[in-house]
Amino acid sequence: MKFKNTHKDHQVTDESIYKSRRKLIKAGLIGGASVLSGSSMALTLPKHKTNPSFVIDELTEERDATTYNNFYEFGLSKSAPAENAGSMKTEPWTVEIGGLCEKQGPVDLEKLISNFQIEERVYRMRCVEAWSMVIPWMGFKLADLVKYCQPTSDAKYVYFETLYDPQQMPGQKGRSIPWPYREGLRMDEAMNELTLMTVGMYGKKLPNQNGAPLRLIVPWKYGFKGIKSIVKIKFLDKQPVNSWQAIAPQEYGFYANVNPNVDHPRWSQATERRITGGFSLFNSRIKTQMFNGYEDYVADMYQGMDLTKYY
């Protein structure tokens, strides 16, 4: 896949340059303009604001973020996605757009992406299983994609589906989840400036185990909202049921906002094990923050809602 080059002064960099740039970005010394490198593509990313919430944390090691995964289509263990997803064919890739919007039908992903600005953002990611990572994603705003699709005034939700292909995704031969994996967002959540459709991480294309070639990232919600390998986007007037809600509605709701005050029925959500500086069982346990620390960006959307009921 090629990305649209949005800068005139495009350049290619190698990984060491990328890493040293990351250190500078982290230190707040340069803006987020950075360079995506890979075997077949070069992309200079547009500047994004160096919002401290996006850059202060110590990054999770790339190796940990790409080998400790949840992607049930490739098996139930944390190591299975990295072991089994490599052969999934992600190019070419087609996304079907439909439901209550003007744009309808299949779109080639590469063409679709060429409409949007790709940027890099470092986000804290909190898994419902109480571990967390800090990951530099590259992507474009879901808000831009929504505008491109021109939803009608009846559209209240955006719904996503993962590829269903048991030949390529052996986990789909079992019944751990009613396939395909499904997710949804309320329209205001989809339009929120934090919500990112990602195509890369650590300056490279998304590895298959992390949801190549297109994956949703919603950093104030538990990680399961981040549906991987998306092939369908639909605009709906009714709230869809997401996969985990379908499996265990008493444990997983539609909203899935990170909330240290609402425990999972089987464990506390007050703290999390932050995986940085190499993966180990002794990684530091830190307090989980309301909306994963993104309260300033998102709390308004949930004013007046009982978050113990809408979990």
Could you list the residues that contact ligand MTE (CB under 6 A)? 69-73, 127, 162, 181, 210, 223-224, 226-229
**Residues 84, 208: Cα–Cα separation, whole Å:** 9
The candidate with the shortest Cα–Cα distance to 228, out of 161, 166, 138, is 161
Residue 29: strand, helix, or coil: coil
Q: Is 1 or 85 the residue whose CB approaches ligand MTE more closely?
A: 85
Q: Which residue has the tokens 């959307």?
A: 301
Alpha carbons 311 and 300: distance in angstroms, whole number: 16
Q: Which is nearer to ligand MTE, 84 or 229 (CB)?
A: 229
Strand partners, 99: 235
Residue 118 is which amino acid? I
Shortest approach of ligand MTE to residue 36 CB, angstroms? Answer: 18
Q: Which is nearer to ligand MTE, 73 or 189 (CB)?
A: 73
Q: Which is nearer to ligand MTE, 90 or 210 (CB)?
A: 210
Residue 160 beta carbon to ligand MTE: minimum distance, rounded to whole angstroms: 9
Are the CB atoms for 310 and 254 separated by under 8 Å?
Answer: yes
Strand partners, 133: 125
Report the residue number, 70 or 283, with the smaller CB distance to ligand MTE: 70
Is residue 228 within 8 Å of residue 85, measured between CB atoms?
A: no
Tell me how far, at minimum, the Cβ of 179 lies from ligand MTE, in Å: 9
Shortest Cβ 270–ligand MTE spacing (Å): 18
Q: Which residue's C-beta sits nearest to ligand MTE?
A: 223
Question: Rounded to the nearest whole angstrom, what is the least distance from the CB of residue 303 to ligand MTE in the complex?
Answer: 27
Closest CB to ligand MTE among 168 and 210?
A: 210
95: nearest Cα among 159, 3, 4, 157: 159
Nearest distance from C-beta of residue 180 to ligand MTE, angstroms: 7
**Which residue, among 293, 258, 287, has the nearest Cα to 273 in the 3D structure?**
287
